[in-house]
Amino acid sequence: MKKIFSIIFVLSYLFINAQYDYIGTEIGLNRLMGTARFVGTGGVMGSVGAEVSALSTNPAAIGMFSRSEFSITPTVQVNNTGTDYILFGNGSRFVSETEDVKLKFSLNNLAYVIANRKDNAPYIKNSNFAIALNRTADFNRKFSFYAQNNIYTYAASNADYLTSQYRLDVNSFPNSSNVNSNDFDYYGAREMGGLYTELFETKPADTSVVSYASKSVLQQGQRNIWGGINELSFAWSGSFKDRVYFGVSLGIPFLNYTMATSFSEEHLGDISTSGLHPNNGRFISHRFNERIDHSGVGVNLKLGGLAKINHFLRASAFIHTPTYYGITENYSITYRTVFQTANNSATYERPEFEYNALTPVKMGLGLSAVSKYGFIGAEYEYSTMNTQRIFFNDMPYNEGIINDVFKFERRGTHTFKLGGELAYEIFRLRAGFNYRTTPYVDVSPLDNLDVIVEGADLSSKTFTFGFGFRGKALSIDFAAMTTQQEEFNSFYTKKNEYNVGIKNNIQRQHYMMTLNYRF
């Protein structure tokens, strides 16, 4: 059995383009999170005020607290993903459908507000402080797929890619007996895993790389994603004559993002029709298991204002600086190819790699009407997704590649929020709706193909509902939230002929309860 362990790091173009684009988009998108009251009303409380989760959008809302407050929000998440595994091109097309469910418990909110009210003060009547741990993003989901494929396999795609690289550098291109760790980074870890385990072989006679995998295979894959962003916030807000409120918060977000991918191709049919290796016998299967971990800490600043226009109407505005992250990445892969008389494996681990990321600028406006019977509000938020940046130390070429993706293939997103609360004695009833536009300049992720996967553009719709009971000192609130979005990712291609991709229909359902104590 062959084994390899790598400790050398050289960043490759393919790895950059695939991974940093994806993680950058994930951490930059807006998501609705917070207490049950905040979520139940669609997150419009930046102009209503006196809501601790609003400090993640408009810290001026903290200035309207007249009493100190403690809150905690445990949450159960049920993430459903319906997956279409699609191959199309040259008149061929097949689709296989699967569904996956992932259950997760998290803490959406833990907060403490210190209210400092001075009724006799001539101007600054409120000077409030808050410390909160709010979950601002949740990445948890998984999807799986499978299909019988006799048109164009993943092994064939990688053999075509390796052939193109072989012809560019015939003298130094590796073969299965001399693959080293630099090759795993330079040519691609999955591709070199296949070469090392003898799934592929170089043929000097015609300067090609051939695959011993079958042309008819059962493909099976799964991707499991978990993690999120929890932001520790320190906020202050004051009021001027109880008419104008202004606030500032310092955010320290903690990022954790893990993506584990497995994929295999197994021979279908009689073994006599499988690929024949001259030394190892007939091909049976190949498989890889890959894991990428991103963890880091960032810092940002939020500024906000809120004004009482009259007895009923309130307006708000806010702006968030980009979050500057320091991120550590770990990557590993195991690859196995099974023949009749051989079972070859490779293990590759890249040492810790550190880089920095800059998220979008965010800004918005809000308007609400408030009375003793409740409130109704609207909020608009704009996020400059095309200003995201990744920074690598001493690698300007690689840095430029991924930043050009953000610069030219992303655009600002618009988020529209509507929501309200109906109040009757101690009872509260809430509902809300959010819509976020696509971050992509071109909503079709497919190039040089006449098939467009419509709607798979990461735009999202969020529906919320909630109710609660508000006593003099103790409140309890409940909320349910459903977010719907679709995404498409190209898996592998043969230029101008075939595209194999994965379309996910994602539904995130969150159920939360907030306990709130005022004193």
Contacts of 434 (CB under 8 A, 6+ apart): 32, 42, 43, 415, 416, 417, 418, 460, 461, 462, 464
Q: From the centroid of its chain, how far is CA 76?
A: 19
Which of the four pLDDT bands, split at 50, 70 and 90, describes residue 466? very high
Handedness of CA 239, 243, 244, 249 (dihedral sign): positive
One DSSP character per residue, 440-476 reads BSSS---SS-S---TT-EEEEEEEEEEEEEE-SSEEE
Given a cut of 60, whether residue 224 has pLDDT beyond it is yes
pLDDT score recorded for residue 28: 87
Q: Rounded to whole angstroms, how far apart are CA atoms 130 and 395? A: 41
Stated as kind and residue range, the H or E segment containing 396 is helix 396-409
Where are the extended beta strands (E) located within 90-182?
92-114, 124-138, 141-149
CB neighbours of 289 closer than 8 A, spacing ≥ 6?
260, 261, 262, 333, 334
What band does 14 get if pLDDT is binned at 50, 70 and 90?
very low
CB-based contact 420:375 (threshold 8 Å): yes
Tell me what the mean pLDDT of segment 65-76 comes to. Answer: 96
79, 163, 198, 229 from 138: Cα distances, Å: 10, 40, 40, 7
Closest residue by Cα to residue 115 from 45, 49, 42, 44: 49
DSSP 340: S
Q: What's the CA dihedral at 448, 452, 458, 460 to 10 degrees?
A: 160
Instruction: Tell me the DSSP string of 168-224.
Output: H-TTT---TTS--HHHHHHH-HHHHHHHHTTSEEEETTTTEEEE-S-SSEEEEEEEE
270-306 per-position pLDDT tens digit: 998 899 999 999 999 999 999 999 999 999 999 999 9
| Residue 37 Cα distances to 194, 231, 285, 508, 515, angstroms | 52, 19, 52, 18, 10
Task: Please check the confidence at residue 451 and state whether its pLDDT lies above 70.
Answer: no
Specify the pTM: 0.90
Bridge partner residues of 364 (DSSP):
318, 381
* Neighbour count for residue 120 (Cβ, 10 Å): 5
As a whole number of angstroms, the distance between CA 44 and CA 480 comes to: 16
Q: What is the mean pLDDT of residues 187-197?
A: 94
How does strand 427-436 pair with strand 457-470?
antiparallel
Q: How much is the pLDDT for 302?
A: 98
Q: Is the pLDDT of residue 399 over 70?
A: yes
Q: What whole-number distance in Å separates Cα of residue 40 and Cα of residue 37?
A: 5
| CA contacts within 13 A on the Cβ side of 393 | 7
- Span 22-27, average pLDDT: 82
Residue 151 structure tokens: 């048109």
Closest CA to 388 of 13, 19, 15, 25: 25
Residue 443 has pLDDT above 50, yes or no: no
Cα-Cα end-to-end distance for the chain: 67
Find the mean pLDDT for residues 167-188.
90
Phi first, then psi, for residue 249 (nearest 5°) are -140, 145
| pLDDT tens track for 401-430 | 888 888 988 999 999 999 999 999 999 999
Predicted confidence at residue 13, as pLDDT, reads 39
Task: Evaluate whether 179 touches 162 at the Cβ level (below 8 Å).
Answer: no
Q: How far apart are CA 268 and CA 79, in angstroms?
A: 33
pLDDT digits (tens, 9 = 90+) for 79-123: 999 998 988 766 666 778 889 899 999 999 999 999 998 878 788
pLDDT number for residue 450: 38
> What mean pLDDT, rounded, does the chain reach?
90
Inter-CA distances, 366 with 43, 57, 379, 431, Å:
10, 10, 4, 17
Residue % of the chain over a pLDDT of 70: 92
Residues 349-363, mean pLDDT to the nearest whole number: 93
Predicted pLDDT at 122:
80
- Residue 185 has what pLDDT? 85
Asked if 269 contacts 221 with a C-beta cutoff of 8 angstroms, the reply is: no
Binning pLDDT at 50, 70 and 90, where does residue 398 land? Answer: confident
pLDDT over 70 (residue 448): no
The mean per-residue pLDDT over the stretch 300-328 comes to 97
Q: How far apart are CA 87 and CA 491, in angstroms?
A: 10
pLDDT of 454 reads: 56
pLDDT at 92: 63
Q: How many CB atoms lie within 10 A of CB 427?
A: 11
SS (H, E, C) 273-298: HCCEECCCEEEEEEEEEEEEEEEEEE
pLDDT of amino acid 394: 78
The burial class, CB within 10 Å (0-12 / 13-18 / 19+), for 80 is middle
Q: What does DSSP assign to residue 322? A: P
Of 169-173, 443-447, 481-485, where does mean pLDDT reach its minimum? Answer: 443-447
Residue-wise pLDDT tens digits, 247-267: 999 999 999 999 999 999 999
